[in-house]
Structure 1
């Protein structure tokens, strides 16, 4: 990768990290205007960075859908926002499954048990939303499983994303606690970055390996 591209990538990643810190701080102090404005910049900045890392079209589509989900949820279009994030996870699953990974049924069993326990604990208090929450949580769990198969970094991102949305489900079930919103957004911002960087890192490594194989052995 050229030096100019590396420099651009670093600038854009720094901008994303700064926006994430500002947003989490705004949530912590409940600065409403800053909270909305900073959240609107998060996924576009991460998308901009991903392009410097040769992100696949599917990964870029996941970040675009996440951008739409953030905006829709902030403007109280709840169902449309959830649908946008469901589309994002479908894109994540597609891009992760298209790449090599080490599949483990232990990971499936662990996350499956976690999903079942979460739904069992919260379903009584979710009322008419229990089916929608269970279905969306299952999609999130699938992303967490497949991301863990892909690499430790993307797996950490999938786990943080699941944790973030689990905290939202806790609030929906009427079990809020101090600091939940701050923790939710910190986990969301970190999870999205780790998912994106985990996928792009593997893609760049494969591209480098392919170039080396095409060049053939180096004769001293």
Structure 2
């Protein structure tokens, strides 16, 4: 059976749609509850497909991040959970040859580093002093995930870029650099975040189980020569 037709992915899609509708309706506590169903359904799909355990672990820490961010006073704990998740993603892509690929495409980390610096410069003065260092470290991790993912697989790279955009929007909202519209802003954040998790998970599952194998022709490896 096509892995994308799994009941777990169907349930994930339903959960995302329901959550986005609840975000628009501002229906608490159901909005928070539905948010914490998104990552677990992807975890179940990854396990069902025999996918990499480190990706399941990354999604688990995303779940913890989602949970902590819904609790007052646990923002830093939420960031820490997401930071661990990105550490898992980076480790996975490094195991699949990201460093060797990046040495041949230095423009990828260079462009992402410039983007991270520009984002930090934009939001820096609007952040509370206690948030500045954690946001700096987290931005570096986000950029590293994006760079390593892009160097290995295009789908994963797009997912990592969406993750970067989603969390960048959160930072901009916290720093009051974008108009404060909790409904529209929350909708865009969750739409891009959900898409990011989907792309990262599905890309990781279809990559070779052993990093030393050549990726299949349809794996979407970044800048791979087309098969004729």
Same fold per superposition (TM over 0.5): yes
Greater CA deviation, 170-179 or 156-165? 170-179
Question: In the alignment, what sits opposite 1:183?
Answer: 188
Matched length: 206
Aligned positions of 1:1-220 closer than 5 A? 3=1, 10-76=6-72, 77-101=74-98, 102-103=101-102, 104-128=105-129, 129-177=131-179, 178=181, 179-203=184-208
Question: In the alignment, what sits opposite 2:218?
Answer: none
Q: State the distance in 2 between where 1:127 and 1:73 align.
A: 17
Q: State the distance in 2 between where 1:44 and 1:148 align.
A: 25
Compute the displacement of 1:175 (Å).
Answer: 2.8
The C-alpha deviation readout for 1:6-48, integer Å capped at 9, x for no partner, is 5796110010011011111211221112211111111100100
Compute the displacement of 1:199 (Å).
Answer: 1.1
Question: In the alignment, what sits opposite 2:221?
Answer: none
Give 3-state SS (helix, strand or coil) of 2:50's partner. Answer: coil
Q: State the distance in 1 between where 2:152 and 2:198 align.
A: 15
Q: State the distance in 2 between where 1:207 and 1:125 align.
A: 45
Q: State the distance in 2 between where 1:95 and 1:191 align.
A: 16
Ranges in structure 1 where 5+ consecutive residues have no aligned partner: 211-220
Q: State the distance in 1 between where 2:107 and 2:116 align.
A: 14
Using the size of structure 1 for normalisation, the TM-score is 0.87
* Cα contact 2:126–2:177 (8 A) shared by 1: no
Q: State the distance in 1 between where 2:136 and 2:214 align.
A: 41
Give 3-state SS (helix, strand or coil) of 2:41's partner. Answer: helix
Q: State the distance in 1 between where 2:193 and 2:170 align.
A: 11
Q: CA RMSD in A?
A: 2.2
Q: State the distance in 1 between where 2:65 and 2:11 align.
A: 21
Give 3-state SS (helix, strand or coil) of 1:175's partner. Answer: coil
Give 3-state SS (helix, strand or coil) of 1:55's partner. Answer: coil
Ranges in structure 2 where 5+ consecutive residues have no aligned partner: 216-228
Moved segments of 4+, more than 6 Å: 205-210
Classify 1:59/1:80 alpha carbon distance in 2 versus 1 (closer, same or farther; 3 Å): same
Compute the displacement of 1:201 (Å).
Answer: 1.0
